[in-house]
Amino acid sequence: MLLIHCPYCNETLPEVEFAYASEAHIARPAKPSDVSDEDWAEFLFMRSNVKGPLYERWRHIHGCGRFFNAVRDTVTDKFLTTYKAGDPRPDLSSLTEGLK
Amino acid sequence: MTAPISSFTPGVLAHSDAARVGFAPRCARFSLRARGDLAPLEAALGLSLPTRIGQRVTAGERQLLCLGPDEWVLHAPERDGAAITAACAGVYADHPHSLVDISGREVSFVIDGPRGAELLTLGCARDLDSIAVGEGRRTLFDGATVILWRDGDTSFRLDCWNSFATHLFHLLDTGVRELAAESL
């Protein structure tokens, strides 16, 4: 079982308390009516699907209930970091430095 | 066969040498959500709102547990329920918040006995040692979201929704007997 650090509870807790909530840092267009169908489809459906570190959202649904962001390596399933929703995206090179 | 919830009466439901599972008497329960300046609410409720998740505050017979950055659960005697609702309604205009009466939604089991903490590990994946005595947390127990209050080293209260109560009791009842049957 994965252990995930919740930045709101400030505790590292079992994976079963959490729910995955798709890729992070995808901003909804401010005026959806101005967006072309292609761009809207891009926003709705297209995700980066990276092999390696992925910025993604998680929710501590069976705990504090909060959404937060995480960087997880999709190959190894290792969490590189977690941070509060709204915080800036952490620099990837500083996160992967220790792994090399 | 799981027992219907109507058959639970306050008192001991299952016990052995290892642990004991009881059913807590009914009480008034509220879910409170608020942001910003909490002082008016604290004054209305007569207790301070803890801000660290898991922290608990007791004032008289009212018990308050912080569940999230802007979420608390409040337990009080049933007769106190109307007073709490009225007090919070009084500050609502100046300090909007959400106070929901969830008394009818949840029931509480009381778990104690020498191996009470071990009994909970049957359904709870988190490390119970990380919940200090006098604190509490919301967590997952055998597939159901529950609130665990740690009252002592091996003494806990477990709040769960009515609809999960019989299922959870079935596991706890089996666990109580299983732990007693184990030779240490």
Query: Nearest by CB to B68, which of A13, A16, A64?
Result: A64
Q: How far is A69 from chain B (nearest CA, A)?
A: 16
State the average pLDDT for chain B. 93
| Bridge partners of residue B75, in order along the sequence | B29, B63
Q: Is B144 within 8 Å of B168 (Cβ atoms)?
A: yes
Q: Is B3 within 8 Å of B171 (Cβ atoms)?
A: no
CATH 3.30.1360.120 segments of chain B: 9-25+105-181
Per CB-CB distance under 8 Å, the chain A contacts of B50 are: none
What homologous superfamily does CATH list for B28-101? Heterotetrameric sarcosine oxidase (3.30.70.1520)
Angle at B119 between CA B167 and CA B8, to 5 degrees: 40
Per CB-CB distance under 8 Å, the chain A contacts of B31 are: none
**CA distances, B104 to each of A61, B3, B29, B79, B81 (Å):** 22, 19, 8, 14, 12
Q: Which residues of chain A have pLDDT under 70?
A: 98-100
pLDDT band at B8 (very low <50, low <70, confident <90, very high): confident
Quick check: is A33 in a domain? no
pLDDT at A100: 57
CATH 3.30.70.1520 segments of chain B: 28-101
Phi, psi of B183 (to 5 degrees): -95, 130
The CATH number of the domain where A73 resides is what? 3.30.2270.10
pLDDT at B2: 66
Sign of the torsion angle spanned by Cα atoms B184, B149, A62, A66: negative
DSSP at B124: B
Q: Chain B interface, mutation test: which of A4, A10, A11, most B Cβ atoms within 10 Å? A: A11
Domain coverage including residue A77: 3-28+40-99
pLDDT at B61: 93
Q: What is the pLDDT of residues B163-175, one digit of tens each?
A: 999 999 999 999 9
CATH tag for B9-25+105-181 (out of 3.30.1360.120, 3.40.50.880, 3.40.50.300, 1.10.10.10): 3.30.1360.120
- Residue A89 CA, distance from chain mean position: 10
Quick check: is A83 in a domain? yes
Per CB-CB distance under 8 Å, the chain B contacts of A61 are: 145
Rounded to an integer, the average pLDDT of B24-48 is 94
Q: Is B124 within 8 Å of B148 (Cβ atoms)?
A: yes
Asked if A63 lies within 8 A of B130 by C-beta distance, the reply is no
Query: Nearest by CB to B138, which of A8, A14, A62?
Result: A62
Query: What's the rounded Cα separation, in Å, for the pair B87 and A3?
Result: 41
Quick check: is A8 in a domain? yes
Quick check: is A16 in a domain? yes
Asked if A62 lies within 8 A of B67 by C-beta distance, the reply is no
Quick check: is A90 in a domain? yes
Per CB-CB distance under 8 Å, the chain A contacts of B53 are: 8-10, 63-64
Q: How far is A12 from chain B (nearest CA, A)?
A: 9
pLDDT band at B118 (very low <50, low <70, confident <90, very high): very high
pLDDT at A98: 64
Quick check: is A12 in a domain? yes
Predicted model pTM: 0.89
Query: What's the rounded Cα separation, in Å, for the pair A12 and A21?
Result: 18
Q: What is the pLDDT of residues B127-140, one digit of tens each?
A: 999 999 999 999 99
Check pLDDT > 60 for residue B96: yes
How many domains are there within chain A? 1
3-state secondary structure of B31: strand
